[in-house]
Amino acid sequence: MASAHSGHVSDFVVPGVHRAQWQKVLQLSQEFSSWHIGFGLHPYFIDEHVPADIFYLEHQLQQHQAAFVGEIGIDFTCANLPMQRYLFERQIELAAEYERTVVMHHRKSQAELQKYVKKIQYRSALRGMLHAFSGSYEQAMQWHELGFKLGVGGVITYERAKKTRDAIRRIPLTALVLETDSPDMPLMGQQGRRNEPKYVCQVFKTLCAIREEPEALIAKTLLNNTRELFSTIPN
């Protein structure tokens, strides 16, 4: 926390990824008002999730009005795709029903995620972000047209990520939010080291260089975008 504050980071969006972890996240959010938390069932732990976890997720959403749904998703490199699909669909249904932001993980699965998003009965109530976006301008625009924002992190600091950098340069600024994915997704030059929230400032500087727009405009727009998703973050 002290390290993050030294980098001018004041607030933290912290997802839940496993039912066993939710209580810890909740506990820390009660200790630190700057934590904005979510509850979700991440595909990395698919072998440990059970269908009944959806019941407990709904209970958490009923008890915690400001919580978002996430981090959730479908990952084609993980096992048990039928269970992944079932849990993902049920979780975005809850996000729409309770009008909560959803934070989504993807790996080789953007088209699959979009298929389920488009099926949701209360589609107009569903909002969220695609965490750690990596892809083409066409893919980015597909998410933008669905009303989703794209999480921009350390990947854009790598010059070899030409397709993603081009997408981030061309898409409307209102479609972007910054993130670090701490302790994962290290920035260029920091491979093998622990990522930290304070490095979001470096991601911001890279984004400004890619887009060639005034820093003040980008900063103000990104804050507004973030608050659209996480309204408990102060101005």
Tens digits of residue pLDDT in 73-109: 999 999 999 999 999 999 999 999 999 999 999 999 9
Domain membership of residue 117 as a residue range: 12-129
Question: Which pLDDT score is estimated for 186?
Answer: 86
Query: Do residues 111 and 149 share a domain?
Result: no
Final residue before a domain boundary, out of 129, 154, 169: 129
Question: Is residue 124 domain-shared with residue 94, that is, in the same domain?
Answer: yes
Asked if residue 175 belongs to a domain, the reply is: yes
Q: Does residue 120 sit within a domain?
A: yes
Q: Could you tell me the CATH number of the domain that includes residue 97?
A: 3.20.20.140
- Average pLDDT along the chain: 95
pLDDT one-digit tens code per residue, 35-45? 999 999 999 99
Residue 129: its H or E element: strand 127-130
User: 125 and 20 in one domain?
Assistant: yes
Query: Are 125 and 57 within one domain?
Result: yes
Asked whether residue 156 falls in the same domain as residue 67, the answer is no
Please report which residue ranges of 43-173 form alpha helices under DSSP H. Answer: 53-63, 81-97, 110-119, 137-145, 162-170
More confidently predicted of 130 and 183:
130
Q: Which of 83, 111, 129 is the last residue of a domain?
A: 129
d(CA 221, CA 173): 7
Q: Which pTM value belongs to this model?
A: 0.96
